Copies of this chain bind each other. A is one copy, B any other.
């Protein structure tokens, strides 16, 4: 095994892994804003064009570095296309169907722990929020998405923490329909309701 590796040039999968490792380290240490494709390329010892070739934009590189088995941006696209009315209910339906999938949940848990880890606090404020959460609000066409979406995040993150990470009852065992009916009014108000 080791001989084979030494005897050939680095393959595409080695290069991808090197770039991803460099990207993860940079996003965790410098946040999304402080990370550049050029900096990641330099840390991985490759050309910036190769990073673009493998991963596309910085947004795409960030999503790839999180190693989520689903891309929340494409999952949420149909929910976003129907506009702000009833968006909270549709969002929670998609959100729970993905999180409750036993094949996907372990990877999502790993991402949630990374995003909530105080040691890499910029992953949420300076990565996940601008790349994933804010664009949902912008695509929905709600007013002040930069004010409203963090409120949505504050409820969704608490639900993830209690239901999936800490497994607090009755939330951990609650059926999906009941969770949607419980949380949709909260999230719909944060999205479109009267707020101070």
Assembled-state Cα–Cα distance A119/B151 (Å): 27
CB-based nearest B residue for A186 = B186
CB-based nearest B residue for A125 = B168
**CB-contacts of A117-137 with B (<8 A):** 118, 121, 124-125, 129
Given contacts A121-B167, A125-B168, A168-B124, contact A162 B150 (CB under 8 A): yes
Collect the chain B residues with CB atoms within 8 Å of residue A116's CB.
116, 161, 165-166
Residue pair B150, A168 in contact (C-beta under 8 Å): yes
CB-based nearest B residue for A151 = B182
Counting CB contacts under 8 A, is A169 at the interface? yes
Counting CB contacts under 8 A, is A21 at the interface? no
CB distance from A35 to the nearest CB of B (A): 18
One of A46-54, A90-98, A152-160 contacting the partner: A152-160
Counting CB contacts under 8 A, is A181 at the interface? yes
- The 8 Å CB contact of A157, one of B129, B146, B161, B181, is B161
Mark A residues whose CB is within 8 Å of B.
113, 116, 118, 121, 124-125, 129, 146-147, 150-151, 153-159, 161-163, 165-171, 177-178, 181-182, 185-186, 189, 195-196
Known: A121-B165, A150-B169, A154-B163. 11 other contacts (CB 8 A): A116-B165, A118-B165, A121-B166, A150-B168, A150-B171, A151-B171, A153-B158, A153-B168, A177-B196, A182-B196, A186-B189
